[in-house]
Amino acid sequence: MRALVTRLNRPVVAIVAVTILAAGLRFVHLSHPDGYVFDEVYYPKAACILLGWSDETCTIDPGDEHYWREKKWDVGSWVHPPLGKWEIAMGIKAFGMNEFGWRVSSAVAGTAVVLLTAVMAQLLFGSAIWTALAGLLMAVENLNVVKRHRRPRPMKDASRMGQTQIQPGGVFDLAAAVDVSNVMVVCPACNRATRVGYEFRESKGRTEKVRVCRRADCHEVLDR
């Protein structure tokens, strides 16, 4: 067992592991939800236009979007740099004008960021554990997204900015911490993930309540 742990405690294993995890979280069910989500009503269409495809293929509306295609070669996002649109266009070119096609480039970029983060952590700390931790934190970002209602509120120094003085309210998607109850403890004695049990044991002449491993063949104290 120790030989296996030693073999796995290598930077290349940590980097590959977090990269595979990041890819799995991003590519599995990438085509869902169906249809355009939020600003996908602009960028995939703009990317499709850059490819020179027809209005029907790019799902261009015959009204305003067709007008902006003729004038700006876009559908409303021409104020944004074209590099990101070309990246989306490459995915559409490879997989078609569908959900997977216009999202795959973002999934590839997100996975690459996790890989680069793990590599930088290894260069900074020189430890496989810290490399894995840094890559893991990046891989699972926004994994636990919750909705929060927020009231409109005044903005600081808004009188010096060219914008409204009230921060709009509404329903926002925010990243939240994963509750500790969803994380299993690793027993230091048997080195396995376990549920936590409680027992009363004698310690230094008095009875104390301690946390113990719930494994049937272990039952060792977790807190030492």
pTM of the model: 0.63
What is the predicted pLDDT for the residue at 170?
79
Dist CA 49 CA 42 (whole Å):
11
Task: Tell me the average pLDDT of the chain.
Answer: 83
Of the chain, the percentage scoring pLDDT greater than 90 comes to 28
The tens digit of pLDDT for each residue in 123-167 reads 998 888 889 989 988 888 766 677 788 887 776 655 555 555 666
pLDDT at 111 over 70: yes
What is the predicted pLDDT for the residue at 3?
60
The tens digit of pLDDT for each residue in 52-106 reads 999 899 988 877 878 878 888 888 777 788 888 999 999 999 999 999 999 999 9
What is the predicted pLDDT for the residue at 72?
82
